[in-house]
Structures are given as C-alpha cells and as structure tokens.
C-alpha cells in the first residue's frame, strides 16, 4: 500500500508559502492571483522526493540526498506553481531533483537562522553606530586609536565571492577607524560596552561556524542577524558593521 498524501494544515501552508516568499522557487510566478478583489491559490504542495516513487524513480534517485526520512515532512515538500509542479514530476530527472533539493536546503537554513535571531542578543546601543553611518559625514575620524590590523586577505578564503571580498575590504578601509571611535564613545558612558558587543558578535559567529557554513554564508547570516536587530535603512550599514568585526577579529580568524 502506498504512502497517503498528508493534508497540510492552514498554518503549515502559510509557513511553507512564507518560506519561498510567496513565489514559485523555480519560475518566480506568484503563488496567489487576484480576481474580483479576492486572492486565489496558485500553487500545489510538491514532494521533492516522490510520495510514492515508481521503480524507475527509486533507481534514479537511489544515490541522491533525501531531506527527510518522512516523505510528508515539511522538509521534503515545497510550494510550486501548477506548471512547475507538473514539469518537475513528469518526467522526473536527477538534475531537477538536485536543484530543488539545493533550493530547499537554503530555505531550511534561512528559516533556522530566523529562529536564532531571537536567541542571540546584541546591545541596543549598536543601533547608535548604525544610525551614525547614515547621519554623519566625517568618516576620516581624527581620534587616535591604536590597533594592529590583520590583513583581510589573510582571513578570507575562497568560499567568499570576489565581489563580497572587495566590499569587505572597502568597508574596512573606509569605516574601520570611524566605527572604532564610536565604540570608544560608547565606553565613555558605559565602560566595557564595546567588549560586550564584540563578544556577542563573536558568539553568533561561532554558532555559524559550528553549523559548518562557508564564509560567504556566515557573512550573509551575520549581516541578516544585525539587520534583524537594528532595522537599518539598508543592508549597507549591517555589511559595514560585519566588515568591521572581520577586521577586528570577532569574525573569522
């Protein structure tokens, strides 16, 4: 007897659709359409590893990664528009299966990161530094701060893309002294506050490292975490701050 198709609850449907940001992950088609002022569903919940694989599919996918031993688990399903669902199922190919597994893995990882944001705190005063990046023009700060910088190139490996590496290096060059000065000002009002912030950044980095993520993913996850905590006007400020802590040795060794 074959596996029975699970009826996903409204809450599960909402979570799965939110995970793909309300668009088909294969073609970017919206998963809802409007008609006469009402929203209508334009997706189906697709099994990545088939619910009841044929003998040919079992053979085809025998060496492939499975995201869950439970065929109906949310890790093994994904909302697709009706057209993409049909194309994915018939005929099933290894290449398309691998692609959808890779997409779902990234979505699962991102969802896991969102749950970490509440667990890992960062001092509210970090927002003062974020805001100063938008509000102040004097980035050639004249305050004398002694530090022994380690070359960014020595810390970044080949898993960081070339554009991201260039961005980090430029951020360090343009903003390191400025941010260092702002942290020193925080310490004038609250001694050791900058050290607390640095340790919080370090702890979140170490958590990412334990997951085994490469440097590109770790950098992006730290930027997303800072964004979630500070709500800046753009990603730029969070990227600048993360770049500072790379140079300052809290992120990467």
Shared domain for 109 and 180, answered yes or no, is: no
How large is the average pLDDT for residues 108-137? 88
pLDDT for position 148: 47
Q: Hey, is 203 helix, strand or coil?
A: helix
pLDDT for position 140: 55
Give 142-162 pLDDT, tens digit per residue: 444 444 445 788 899 999 999
Highest mean pLDDT among 47-51, 126-130, 142-146: 47-51
Is 209 inside a domain boundary? yes
pLDDT for position 195: 94
Shared domain for 127 and 74, answered yes or no, is: no
Is 3 inside a domain boundary? no
**Confidence label for 138 from pLDDT (cuts 50, 70 and 90):** low
- Residue at token pair 């969102």: 114
**Cα torsion through 60, 62, 63, 64, rounded to 10:** 80
**Domains held by the chain: number:** 2
Give 192-247 pLDDT, tens digit per residue: 999 999 999 999 999 999 999 999 999 999 999 999 999 888 889 999 999 999 99
Shared domain for 128 and 112, answered yes or no, is: no
Shared domain for 80 and 165, answered yes or no, is: no
Query: What range defines the domain where residue 44 resides?
Result: 10-117
Instruction: Show Cβ contacts of residue 154 under 8 Å, excluding neighbours closer than 6 positions.
Output: none
């Amino acid at each position: 007897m074959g596996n029975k198709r699970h009826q996903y609850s409204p809450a599960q449907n909402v979570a799965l659709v939110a995970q793909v940001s309300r668009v088909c992950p294969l073609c970017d088609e919206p998963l809802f359409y409007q008609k006469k002022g009402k929203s209508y569903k334009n997706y189906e919940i697709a099994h990545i590893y088939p619910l009841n694989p044929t003998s040919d599919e079992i053979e085809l996918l025998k060496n492939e990664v499975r995201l869950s031993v439970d065929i109906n688990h949310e890790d093994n399903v994904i909302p697709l528009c009706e057209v993409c669902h049909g194309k994915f199922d018939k005929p099933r190919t290894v290449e398309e299966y691998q692609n959808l597994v890779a997409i779902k893995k990234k979505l699962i990882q991102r969802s896991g990161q969102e749950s970490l944001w509440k667990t890992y705190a960062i001092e509210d005063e970090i927002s003062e530094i974020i805001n100063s990046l938008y509000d102040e023009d004097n980035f050639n700060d004249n305050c004398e701060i002694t530090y022994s910088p380690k070359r960014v190139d020595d810390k970044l490996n080949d898993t960081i893309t070339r554009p991201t590496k260039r961005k980090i290096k430029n951020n360090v060059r343009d903003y390191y002294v400025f941010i260092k000065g702002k942290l020193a000002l925080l310490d004038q009002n609250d001694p050791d506050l900058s050290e607390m912030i640095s340790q919080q950044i370090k702890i979140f980095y170490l958590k990412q490292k334990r997951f085994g993520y490469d440097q590109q993913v770790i950098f992006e996850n730290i930027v997303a975490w800072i964004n979630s905590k500070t709500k800046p006007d753009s990603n730029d400020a969070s990227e600048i701050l993360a770049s500072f802590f790379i140079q300052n040795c809290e992120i990467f060794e």
